[in-house]
Structure 1
Amino acid sequence: MFGDLSGMMDKLKQAQQKVEETKQRLNTVLIDESGADGKIKVTITANREIRAISVDDTLLQDAEELEDYLVLTLNKALKRAGEINEQEMAVAAKSGMPNIPGMDMFK
């Protein structure tokens, strides 16, 4: 009915390994985002881990302004990281999936 079940299980294990390798690689993909005319810079990984935040001294005078810029800049960086992460994980998952009739989840 399903053909080579053992072969499909091996393919699934390979897919899982490929996903894990992709997760590890995404820890090394750095995304830089800046806001407030370059006065705030953040660096995060494609796995959405903050690596660095740099704030210009002029923003330290107004805590509310600083908070607003931080939120905006971090959200932009997280959005980009999420897009990269989703694309890479979809490719990794699809490349290792066995061809099971009726299971065309990744089109």
Structure 2
Amino acid sequence: MFGDMMGMMNKIKETQEKVEATKERLKTVLIDEESSDGLLKITITATREIKNISIADELLEDKEQLEDYLVLTLNKAISRASEVNEAELGAVAKEGMPDIPGMDMFK
């Protein structure tokens, strides 16, 4: 039983290290999102850090329209980044879960 416990602890430690490595890698994963007409383009990392915003000149003429575009497009980008982030981290965490009787809800 003690050997099983040590193996489980080692597996948990390995999983923690993989999760941290995945978090670092996600900082470099870029997600591009744009408005439906392509006038506003946003690049964001999977950790939800905005890297670039490109705005067509015609949007600069209408403050309200630009604000609407920013809100909608940023929300879409953040949503996509969150999905990628959760999927990647979830896969690593699930892979590293030890087999504990009665704890098969992650499978």
Give the TM-score taking structure 2 as reference length: 0.93
Shift of 1:36: 5.0
4+ aligned runs moved over 6 Å, structure 1: none
Shift of 1:66: 0.2
Q: Is the 8 A contact 1:36 1:69 kept in 2?
A: no
Gaps of 5+ in 2: none
Counterpart of 2:93? Answer: 93
Gaps of 5+ in 1: none
Counterpart of 1:70? Answer: 70
Aligned length: 107
Instruction: Point out the structure with the larger helix share.
Output: 2
Shift of 1:34: 0.6
CA RMSD of aligned residues (A): 1.4
Tell which deviates more after alignment, 41-50 or 97-106.
Answer: 97-106
Counterpart of 1:6? Answer: 6
CA 1:95–1:17 in structure 2 vs 1: closer, same or farther (change >3 Å)? Answer: same
Give the fraction of aligned pairs with identical amino acids, expressed as a percent. 66
CA distance in 2, matches of 1:64, 1:30: 28
